[in-house]
Amino acid sequence: MKNGIILVINAGSSSIKFSLFACDNLTLIYHGEIEEVFGSPILSIYDEKHDEIVKNKDIPSGYESAMQTFFNWFEDLSHQYILKAVGHRVVHGGLNYLKPTKVTNEIISNLTKLIPLAPLHQPHNLEAIKIVNKLYPKLPQVACFDTAFHSTQLKLVTLFALPKRLTAEGIIRYGFHGLSYEYIASVLPEYLGKIASGKVIVAHLGNGASMCALYQQKSIATSMGFTALEGLMMGTRCGNIDPGVILYLLQEKKYSIEEVTHLLYEQSGLLGASEISGDVRELEQSKSPHAMEAIQLFCYRAARELSALITALKGCDAIVFTAGIGENSVRIRKGICEWLDWLGVEINDKANENNLSIISHENSKVLVSVIPTNEEYMIAKHTFSLI
């Protein structure tokens, strides 16, 4: 008998990540990535032990050919596995999609209207859905939204101080990285015991970075808002900025809308502040004072956002670091925590250097933890429960 399998697709602007999970116990069987989709695509596939089993550089440029190459590889396994459904990460669900949803043509059309709210991600998420629809029209697909987990936020924290008529149009703070926060919330009791249901701030620090204030494992407030630009300084995104800077760039420096968009999404953050790289590993290896300053700014801005979320939670029992930087950068975790000594946060340097799951000192008034995220698993779980 063939084993049922769920494919999870996370389609981005330059890469498509995919993971294959067994339906019976949701264990990861294969995972991989197609990088440089619009350049010279490279398909890499890894088995469950993370050993590379495929490397294919002979792929025509473009989304459809890249995905077709992946499915050709998968067809070779069809004697063993049967694809039951595809789950997609979709960055924006807007006001109406507050939980994972089976994809229909009507849903694709509604989600297309949200492209202006997430121009870097939403078009690619939808492109992947449409390609699967074309290749396997009968295969169920499920959209899992990055915004959905934040639907429990207090209404007040979702408001901008803008005229009510704009709020009514949906110009509110939605929040993102919801699948990561949902996963972390679900495993919190394993790591934090009883504190899991208390006041916990999760710092998802990857290329995109945000924070979420959890109470009783639900989102109370988050640092990202209407788009994935608000809040923390990120790899190449600016995070919070005086809106007057944008007006100045448009009016005085005569930037075009496209130039401002490119500046805020792709040329700012760690990359802009260092003018070296938006990648923390590269900055940590650099001897340049600009690299050091960019990292320091990142830590300060992150601590500032975290302090704001403490107000929303009216306290803080634990801080959790996750995603590429949060799970790996000893220096950034320490740098952020040093700004929080007023709160009684005290790091255990040895535990931090060894990436242990609890990195706070026993005297610390706030527990500090490192928990690996797993957005793909969350998507597989939702997809399985909907089919």
Choose, by CB under 6 A, the member of 147, 158, 223, 329 that binds ligand ADP.
329
Q: Binding to ligand ADP (CB under 6 A): which residues in 277-306?
A: 279-281, 284
Compute the distance between CA of residue 3 and CA of residue 75 in angstroms, rounded to an integer. 14
- Which has the closest alpha carbon to 236: 89, 120, 92, 91? 120
Q: Binding to ligand ADP (CB under 6 A): which residues in 205-224?
A: 206-208
Closest distance between ligand ADP and the C-beta of residue 326, in Å?
8
Q: Which is nearer to ligand ADP, 173 or 177 (CB)?
A: 177
Cβ(179)–Cβ(144) under 8 Å?
yes
Closest distance between ligand ADP and the C-beta of residue 184, in Å?
13
Active site amino acids: 146
197 binds ligand ADP (CB under 6 A): no
Choose, by CB under 6 A, the member of 59, 323, 345, 368 that binds ligand ADP.
323
Q: Which residues contact 201 (CB under 8 A, 6 or more apart)?
A: 211, 212, 213, 214, 306, 309, 310, 313, 316, 318, 319, 320
Q: Which stretch binds ligand ADP (CB under 6 A): 46-54, 120-128, 317-325, 356-364?
A: 317-325
- 137, burial (CB in 10 Å: exposed 0-12, middle 13-18, buried 19+): exposed
Q: Which residues contact 9 (CB under 8 A, 6 or more apart)?
A: 16, 17, 18, 86, 87, 88, 89, 128, 132
Q: Which is nearer to ligand ADP, 69 or 329 (CB)?
A: 329
Q: Which is nearer to ligand ADP, 141 or 277 (CB)?
A: 277
Closest distance between ligand ADP and the C-beta of residue 207, in Å?
4
225 binds ligand ADP (CB under 6 A): no
371 binds ligand ADP (CB under 6 A): no
324 binds ligand ADP (CB under 6 A): yes
- 27, burial (CB in 10 Å: exposed 0-12, middle 13-18, buried 19+): exposed
Q: Which is nearer to ligand ADP, 281 or 290 (CB)?
A: 281
- Terminal Cα distance for the chain, rounded: 20
Full strand arrangement of the beta sheet holding 3-11 = 52-56, 42-46, 28-35, 16-22, 3-11, 81-90, 141-145, 101-102
328 binds ligand ADP (CB under 6 A): yes
Closest distance between ligand ADP and the C-beta of residue 171, in Å?
25
Closest distance between ligand ADP and the C-beta of residue 178, in Å?
14
Say how many residues touch ligand ADP, by CB under 6 A.
13
The tokens describing 281, both together, are 């590993």
- The residues that touch ligand ADP, with contacts defined as CB under 6 A, are 206-208, 235, 279-281, 284, 323-325, 328-329
